[in-house]
Amino acid sequence: MDLPQARTEGLTVRALGEETLVYDQQRHKAHCLNATAAFVWQHCDGKTPIAELTRLLSTELGMPQAEEVVHIALEQLARRQLLQTALTPLELTARLSRRDVLKKLAVAAVALPVVMTITAHHARAQGASIAKQLGGIICNGNIVFPQSDNNNCGSCGNKCVSPMSCEGGACTCPSTGGAPCAGGCCPKVGDTCCNSTHCCSLGTTCCGSTCCPTGQRCVNGSCVGPCQPGIPACTTNADCNLNQFPAGCVQGCCSV
């Protein structure tokens, strides 16, 4: 692992003062990295060799015994699956023994890298506090993120049905489709949801349990029209000149 690379997928990361809180959404574990461990992890970009990590740690943090510190940090990060690649047996045997390194660094009063782990499932009180700091909530003993979790969108257990996805804590239809409707999404952009039961395509009008095609209107739950040329459309008799159309409003058109 000459070019260590930090994991990025499935993690939620928050800086908390000098510490960094990392929540592993796949394993439902929270890791608290102190400043030294966080510095090493943040510079594991898959391009920076261990020798350069050592130089950076020594230069930017003024860290003595930087090489040993980097190795300890990488060991802890790899053990918690926070790196793309685990330490190989060869690297493990090549390191100084942990006890010897710790003794050496303790004498030098070095700020050792520390990664503390809490499993929310087995520590609900700590998990709730961590969830709050990460912007999440506890659902069934695990930390979830209701702003983006398709299985807990906005609250525990609220599932977004495909093709919906959770955005901003609400189940949202994709930009290539229409409005949310009847637990799903209308198929086309411009489609509207009619009475929360069915979709009406662009240009049609919602009318009870159906959609009126272009040119027709919805009158008392039924699609009517279009009226003959010169015949006014109407909703009630009051819309018609009864002297001219004595029959009043019939199926959406004034009638004689």
User: Phi then psi for 145, rounded to 5 degrees?
Assistant: -120, 95
Q: Please, which pLDDT band fits residue 106 given cuts at 50, 70 and 90?
A: very low
DSSP 45: B
Mean pLDDT along residues 162-185: 85
Q: Please, which pLDDT band fits residue 93 given cuts at 50, 70 and 90?
A: very low
Lowest average pLDDT, out of 123-127, 133-137, 196-200, 238-242, goes to 123-127
Asked if the model's pLDDT at residue 105 lies above 80, the reply is no
What digits encode the pLDDT tens for the residues 53-76? 999 988 888 877 788 888 888 988
What digits encode the pLDDT tens for the residues 2-53? 789 999 898 888 887 788 888 888 887 888 898 889 999 999 999 999 999 9
Mean pLDDT along residues 211-240: 84
DSSP 187: S
User: Phi then psi for 24, rounded to 5 degrees?
Assistant: -90, 105
Residue spans per domain, the chain: 11-132, 225-255
Question: Which one, of 110, 115, 111, lies nearest residue 76 by Cα?
Answer: 115
CA angle 90, 91, 92 (to 5 degrees): 90
